[in-house]
Amino acid sequence: MKTWILSLLSAGLLLAGCAKKEESARLTVVTSFYPMYIMTSNLVKDVPGVKLINMAPPFSGCLHDYQMTPRDMKTLNDADLLIINGAGMESFLDDAIRHNPKLKVIDASRGIELIEHQGTPNPHIFAGVSGAMAQVRNITTGLEHADPEYIGYYRENVQRYLVKLESLRAKMHSALRDVKNRDIITFHEAFPYFAREFSLNILAVIEREPGSEPSAGELAQTIGIIRKNKVKAIFAEPQYPAKSAEAIARETGARVYILDPVVTGPMDDPEYYLKAMEKNLEVLKEALK
């Protein structure tokens, strides 16, 4: 009997503790997908009462074909803030945002000079370190406006994170400064900002959108570009199969390398963007030497 009573008391204390922990979330922040989550996780670190939730699974890649689930709708209904990449990345959220007027939205692309293709903005701003830094600043501004009582926390966190990003950017620029061969072929259209950052020339994109198999004519055109310009490197991404890139490599003798635009990754590692870009740097040094 005594053991049974102790068990009930323990369970009661545990439930009370969980309830208290749940009640302590005074600000619920939702990010649309992994890049926004990893940036924001650095900015809300140790800020009292902030609950951070990522919406799209961290293995889903870019959001080209993402469809909202009932769980996503509930997440948005319970949120105070929604942080999006913007520039058209989350067009599937337009209706949900329109029907949830109380939800404050932070658009991380605001004020950033966008790269366009045939009049359509490329949303992969975060793939360039300078773009990621600009997005981090935009997110911080939004957090400060939404939660001014804790502005000191956000300013301290953003300065700490920007120092790391600036160090990474400087290291990458220094390492790639003397590279002579700057012509590359990419598998998807995830790297224009990365290329602009480091003065790389994207001569062709094999698949503009993931899963959009190139036609025989497009493949032949890409093969011709590679042979004419003696391109040695084709860059694919770890998030998608690269059959077309491998087929072109077999035809041309070019080699397929993996560059990570950091649209997926571990949820428990706030440093992952930095680590992935460090790895990208090593890949570039090998591919372009």
* CATH code: domain of residue 148: 3.40.50.1980
Same domain, 123 and 226: no
Q: Is 114 helix (H, G, I), strand (E, B) or coil?
A: coil
Same domain, 157 and 208: no
Same domain, 233 and 270: yes
What is the domain range of residue 166?
Answer: 24-172
Per-residue pLDDT at 17 exceeds 90: no
pTM: 0.89
Question: Contact 204/224 with Cβ under 8 angstroms?
Answer: no
Instruction: Tell whether 116 is covered by a domain.
Output: yes
Q: Which of 152, 172, 192 is the last residue of a domain?
A: 172
Instruction: Tell whether 257 is covered by a domain.
Output: yes
| Per-residue confidence (pLDDT) for residue 230, from 0 to 100 | 93
pLDDT in tens, 173-214: 999 999 998 999 998 899 999 999 999 999 999 987 766 788
Instruction: Tell whether 1 is covered by a domain.
Output: no
Instruction: Tell whether 42 is covered by a domain.
Output: yes
Same domain, 155 and 194: no
Same domain, 59 and 136: yes
Same domain, 156 and 200: no
Distance CA 75, CA 119 (A): 33
Percent of the chain scoring above 70 in pLDDT:
91
Same domain, 226 and 130: no
Q: How many domains does the chain have?
A: 2
Instruction: Tell whether 100 is covered by a domain.
Output: yes
Same domain, 64 and 145: yes
Percent of the chain scoring above 90 in pLDDT:
78
Same domain, 75 and 198: no
Instruction: Tell whether 274 is covered by a domain.
Output: yes
Judged by phi (left if over 0) then psi (alpha if -120 to 50, else beta), residue 211 lies in: left
pLDDT in tens, 237-261: 998 888 889 999 999 999 999 999 9
Same domain, 152 and 276: no
Instruction: Tell whether 14 is covered by a domain.
Output: no
Distance CA 216, CA 109 (A): 36
Q: Which residue has the tokens 């012509």?
A: 183
Question: Contact 266/58 with Cβ under 8 angstroms?
Answer: yes
Q: Which of 145, 172, 199 is the last residue of a domain?
A: 172
pLDDT in tens, 139-162: 999 999 999 999 999 999 999 999
Q: Which of 130, 156, 172 is the last residue of a domain?
A: 172
Same domain, 76 and 184: no
Same domain, 267 and 212: yes
Instruction: Tell whether 39 is covered by a domain.
Output: yes
